[in-house]
Amino acid sequence: MAGKSTETTARYTTIKVRLYPTPEQAGLFEKTFGCCRWLWNRMLADQQRFYLETGAHFIPTPAKYKTAAPFLKEVDNQALIQEHNRLSQAFRAFFKNPDAFGHPRFKRKKDGRDSFTACNHVFSSGPTIYTTRDGIRMTKAGIVPARFHRRPLGWWKLKRITVERTPTGKYFCSILYACETRKPRQVPVTPERTLGLQYSLKHFYAADDGTLADPPRWLVQSQNRLAELQRRMSRMRPGSGNYREAVRKYRLLHEHIANQRRDFVHKESRRIANAWDAVCMRADNLNDMKTAFGGPLGSGYGMFRECLGRKLEDQGKRLILVDRYAPSARTCSVCGAAGDASEQRWTCPACGTVHRREVNAARNIKAQGLAQCRLSAFSGEAQRGADSPSSSNCRPEHR
């Protein structure tokens, strides 16, 4: 296990709670969503017009629109400021890497992704946002009833909140806290405490020890119900009462499946992070995998890889990502010979070992990850030796 270190670092933790606003508070939230969406589209349109006329990049501030649009004064000013910051951040990401981040687009009301963010400011009279026993105090909304599944520790500092409404009409609030925590000591990577994982289209993943992880049956059952509901909706007349009821059930089932998938991903990543000191995975491009497999994967493997890396890092452990083009499935993990891995089970032509394709790929990924780790450690030692005064190329003096 990792020991404790005396070095400290800033750590951010988010607590997501369910909100139960009153009709007046819900109306204020809806008005804030609309103002943020209107402001985003207006700033983006003005930015594009300014760029076409002058060739320079400029985003107006929200204060420039309040005279012509007085309804912006009815909502929290922090939500409007954060919308300006979001658009600025979107352009910075686009200018830095246009291939990975697309150009900011206009928001549509029918997209169903309504949210706003407000920062907490501490004055002499007290903070602008704080939590109570059964609610959250927000600017202009007052105390909004909420249900907490966990509570922050006493020394955590509330930084900002994000209120969102799901397509099913539920309100949630993500509360971001900051705190000082000790940096965990780095756990050394050993072959005995390292796990190799390979993505599996039939299963969820395959481990180098032969373990095959399947999504829970209740997740598969929910996905089957979703497919049946989609078939029924395709035979309905859009706009009818039955169609609107089917759309409501469709959204509820989609939200239920997302919660089930998220629950499975977090529990499985936590189990692996607690049981192993290092995990080797292939740095697959999931967008290319969707294109290769002819549609969305729907398994949450990308979210699983992200959650696993974050949980390992919090414990001083490592997630080792090997090259996505490194040979794994067609290479024998025993002798290194190449074989025909077109079937789930194949026999090595050199040593005669019978392999399961995905398990063999996981073993090769583990071996490549360990070799990559040893190479980086050797390069670090060589660099430290070159930087030390005793490693000079000059011949020592004889006295």
* Per-residue pLDDT tens over the stretch 18-68: 999 999 999 999 999 999 999 999 999 999 999 999 999 999 999 999 999
Give the pLDDT confidence of 168-182 residue by residue, as tens digits: 889 999 999 998 888
Within a domain: 388? no
- Distance from C-alpha of 291 to C-alpha of 311, rounded to nearest angstrom: 29
- DSSP string for 119-145: E--EETTEESSEE-SSEEEETTTEEEE
- Whether 179 and 211 share a structural domain: no
DSSP category for residue 184: E
pLDDT at 214: 83
Q: Which pLDDT belongs to residue 383?
A: 58
Which tokens go with 325?
């083009």
Verify that 49 and 146 share a domain, yes or no.
yes
Q: Taking 80 as the threshold, does the pLDDT of residue 262 lie above it?
A: yes
Structural domain of 349: 191-379
Same domain, 158 and 209: no
Complete DSSP assignment for 69-130? -GGGGGS-HHHHHHHHHHHHHHHHHHHH-TTTSPPP----GGG--EEEEEE--EETTEESSE
- Same-domain check for residues 196 and 301: yes
Do 95 and 59 form a contact (C-beta atoms < 8 A)?
Answer: no
pLDDT at 279: 94
- Of 184, 200, 221, which residue is a domain's last? 184
* Residue, of 198 and 352, whose pLDDT is higher: 198
Task: Examine residue 18 and state whether it is found in any structural domain, yes or no.
Answer: yes
Tokens of 35: 């103002």
Residue 223 has pLDDT above 60, yes or no: yes
Structural domain includes residue 391: no
- The answer to whether residue 99 is domain-embedded is yes
In a domain, 394, yes or no: no
- Which amino acid makes up residue 225? R
Q: How confident is the model at residue 394 (pLDDT cuts 50, 70, 90)?
A: very low
Domain for residue 231, yes or no?
Answer: yes
> Is the predicted pLDDT of residue 84 greater than 90, yes or no?
yes
163 and 298, same structural domain? no
Cα 278-283-286 angle, rounded to 5 deg: 130
- pTM (2 decimals)? 0.80
One-letter amino acid for residue 93 of the chain: A
Considering the domain architecture, whether residues 269 and 200 belong to the same structural domain is answered as yes
Same domain, 147 and 278: no
**Does the residue 396 lie in any domain?**
no
- Reported as a pLDDT band with limits 50, 70 and 90, residue 99 is confident
The stretch 299-310 carries a mean pLDDT of: 88
Structure tokens belonging to residue 106: 């206009």
Return the higher-pLDDT residue of 378 and 258. 258
Same domain, 152 and 11: yes
Pairing of strands 194-199, 278-282: parallel
Task: Please count the structural domains in the chain.
Answer: 2
Domain membership of residue 311 (yes or no) is yes
- Which of 184, 202, 218 marks a domain boundary? 184
Amino acid at 31: K
User: Are residues 217 and 156 located together in one domain of the fold?
Assistant: no
Question: Same domain for 81 and 216?
Answer: no
Are 257 and 157 members of one domain?
no
| Claim to verify: residue 271 and residue 154 sit in the same structural domain | no
Long-range contacts of 164-167 (CB under 8 A, 24+ apart): 164/113, 164/114, 164/115, 165/29, 165/30, 165/33, 165/114, 165/115, 166/112, 166/255, 167/112, 167/251, 167/254, 167/255
